Amino acid sequence: MRGVTLEIRAGEFVALLGPNGAGKTTLLRIASLLAAPTRGTVQFRAGDGSALSDSDAAKSLIGVVGHSTLLYDELTAAENLEFFAKLYGLGDPSSRTGAALEDCGLGKRTNGIVRTFSRGMRQRLAIAKALLNDPRIVLLDEPAAGLDRQGLEWFSARLAQLRDGGATVMMSTHARNESLELATRVVALVAGSVAEDSGSGGDPAPILARLRAEA
Partner 1 sequence: MMSTARATAILLGKELRLELRTRELLGATIVFALIVEVLFSFAFDPSPADARRIGPGLLWIAFLFAGSLMLNPSFAREQPNDTLDALRLAPISSFAILLGKLLANLIFMLAVEAILVPVFSILYNVPIAGIVGRLALVMLLGTLGLVITGTVFSAISAQARMRELLLPLLLLPVLAPLLIASVEATAALFAEEPMIDRTWVAFLAGFDIVFMTAAWLLCDYLISE
- The DSSP 8-state label assigned to residue 146 in this structure reads T
If one asks whether residue 86 binds partner 1 (CB under 8 A), the answer comes out as yes
Q: By CB under 8 A, which span of 8-16, 62-70, 177-185, 194-202 interacts with partner 1?
A: 62-70
Name the pairing type of β-strands 193-197 and 185-190. Answer: antiparallel
If one asks whether residue 117 binds partner 1 (CB under 8 A), the answer comes out as no
If one asks whether residue 182 binds partner 1 (CB under 8 A), the answer comes out as no
Which of 12, 79, 196, 197 is close enough to bind partner 1 by CB under 8 A?
79
If one asks whether residue 45 binds partner 1 (CB under 8 A), the answer comes out as no
**CB neighbourhood size of 79 (10 A):** 17
- Is there a contact between 135 and 61 (Cβ–Cβ < 8 Å)? yes
What's the min distance (Å) between Cβ of 113 and partner 1?
Answer: 8
**Alpha-carbon span 129 to 84, nearest angstrom:** 7
Which of 7, 48, 56, 214 is close enough to bind partner 1 by CB under 8 A?
56
Which of 1, 4, 70, 190 is close enough to bind partner 1 by CB under 8 A?
70
State which of positions 151-180 bind partner 1 (CB under 8 A): none
- Phi/psi region, residue 118 (left: phi>0; alpha: psi -120 to 50; beta: rest), is beta
If one asks whether residue 12 binds partner 1 (CB under 8 A), the answer comes out as no
If one asks whether residue 36 binds partner 1 (CB under 8 A), the answer comes out as yes
Kindly tell me the number of DSSP H helices and DSSP E strands found in the chain. 7, 6
Residues β-bridged to residue 13: 169
What's the min distance (Å) between Cβ of 70 and partner 1?
Answer: 4
Which of 19, 40, 74, 145 is close enough to bind partner 1 by CB under 8 A?
74
Secondary structure class of 140 (helix, strand, coil):
strand
CA dihedral (167, 172, 177, 183) positive or negative: positive
**Alpha-carbon span 65 to 46, nearest angstrom:** 23
If one asks whether residue 23 binds partner 1 (CB under 8 A), the answer comes out as no
If one asks whether residue 67 binds partner 1 (CB under 8 A), the answer comes out as yes
For residue 187, the surrounding DSSP H or E stretch is: strand 185-190
Closer residue to partner 1 (CB): 58 or 186: 58
If one asks whether residue 143 binds partner 1 (CB under 8 A), the answer comes out as no
- Interacting residues with partner 1 (CB under 8 A): 29, 32-36, 54, 56-57, 59-60, 62, 64, 66-75, 79, 83-84, 86-89, 129
